[in-house]
Amino acid sequence: GENVEQHPSTLSVQEGDSAVIKCTYSDSASNYFPWYKQELGKRPQLIIDIRSNVGEKKDQRIAVTLNKTAKHFSLHITETQPEDSAVYFCAASGGAGGTSYGKLTFGQGTILTVHP
Amino acid sequence: NAGVTQTPKFRVLKTGQSMTLLCAQDMNHEYMYWYRQDPGMGLRLIHYSVGEGTTAKGEVPDGYNVSRLKKQNFLLGLESAAPSQTSVYFCASRPLPNSGPQETQYFGPGTRLLVL
C-alpha cells in the first residue's frame, strides 16, 4: 500500500519568514495530494490540494509543488503569521475511481510554530 | 448544512466495555471513512464505506466494526474496548468522482475516547 513520509516533525519560524514542509510518497499511482491544517482540539481542514497533472498550485500565501518523478510534494507558506501555528498534514490518494475510493494515506504531521 | 457531525464528543470506557460512535453527514456524500489519530502517527484509516450497505477494511481495522445502514450515517463499534484504542476518532465523507471541484474529504469534529 501507499506510504507517506513527512518532514520535519516540528518547525519553528519567526513571523514573516517562510516555512516549507516536505512529503514523499511510495505509490506512483497516487494522483491527488491534499494538505490539511489542524488546530489544537479541532478537525483537520483542507488548505490546498494538487493533482498529478499539475506541477504547482498557489493560493495567496500558500503554495504546493509536486514532483511526480521523484514522488515528493511540498507545502510552502510565505509571510508566516502567528495564526499559521498548527499541525499540518500531507496526504496522498489514488483518487476516488478504481479501487482507491478516495482513501487518503496521511503523513505523520508537522507542528508549525510561528513566533511573533 | 451541518456538514459532518459526530457523537459523542468525549467518552471514557473501562476495558472490555462496548460502545458505538455515530457519524452523520448531510451533504449526500457516497463515501465515508473512519480514522483514528494518535500522537506522532497522523491519521490512520480504520474502515470505510463506498455506499449504503457497503463497508471495507482500512489500514487498522482490528477491534472495530462498522455499519452503513443509511447513506447519511456511518457507525463505528468497539465490541470490547482495550487501552490501545484510546485515541481521537475522526469521521470523514466525500462526494463521488467528477462531482465538483472540491473532491476531498470533509472531517467531523472528532470523538475523544479514553479506555481505562
Q: How far is A17 from chain B (nearest CA, A)?
A: 25
Q: Each residue's pLDDT tens digit in chain A (116 positions)?
A: 889 999 999 999 999 999 999 999 999 889 889 999 999 999 999 999 998 888 999 999 999 999 999 999 999 999 999 999 999 999 998 865 666 788 899 999 999 999 99
Q: Mind listing the pLDDT tens digit for each residue in B12-31?
A: 999 999 999 999 999 999 99
Q: How far is A21 from chain B (nearest CA, A)?
A: 15
The confidence score (pLDDT) of residue B41 equals: 79
Dihedral angle sign, alpha carbons of residues A76, A77, A83, A85? positive
Q: Which residues of B touch A107 (CB under 8 A)?
A: 42
Residue A3, amino acid? N
Residue B98, amino acid? N
- Which of A32, A44, A108 lies at the smallest CB-CB distance from B41? A108
Is-contact B34 B23, C-beta < 8 A?
yes
The confidence score (pLDDT) of residue B112 equals: 97
The confidence score (pLDDT) of residue B94 equals: 92
Residue B37, amino acid? Q
Q: What angle do CA B69, B25, B33 make, to 5 degrees?
A: 70
Cis peptide before A116 (omega within 30 of 0): no
Residue among B18, B33, B25 nearest B77 (CA):
B18
Query: Looking at the complex, does the CB of residue A45 fall below 8 Å from at least one CB of chain B?
Result: yes
What is the rounded distance in angstroms from the CA atom of residue A36 to the CA atom of residue A26?
19
Q: Cell numbers 518532514 correspond to what residue?
A: A7
Cα distances (Å, whole numbers) of residue B100 to A46, B29, B52, B68, B95: 15, 12, 21, 24, 8
The confidence score (pLDDT) of residue B96 equals: 80
Q: Which residues of B touch A106 (CB under 8 A)?
A: 42-44
Instruction: Tell me if B109 and A101 make a contact (CB, 8 A cut-off).
Output: no
What is the rounded distance in angstroms from the CA atom of residue B79 to the CA atom of residue A111?
34
Residue among B38, B27, B39 nearest B60 (CA):
B38
Instruction: Tell me if A96 and B96 make a contact (CB, 8 A cut-off).
Output: yes
Query: Looking at the complex, does the CB of residue A3 fall below 8 Å from at least one CB of chain B?
Result: no
What is the rounded distance in angstroms from the CA atom of residue A45 to the CA atom of residue B109?
10
CB pairs under 8 A between A and B: 59
Query: Looking at the complex, does the CB of residue A95 fall below 8 Å from at least one CB of chain B?
Result: yes
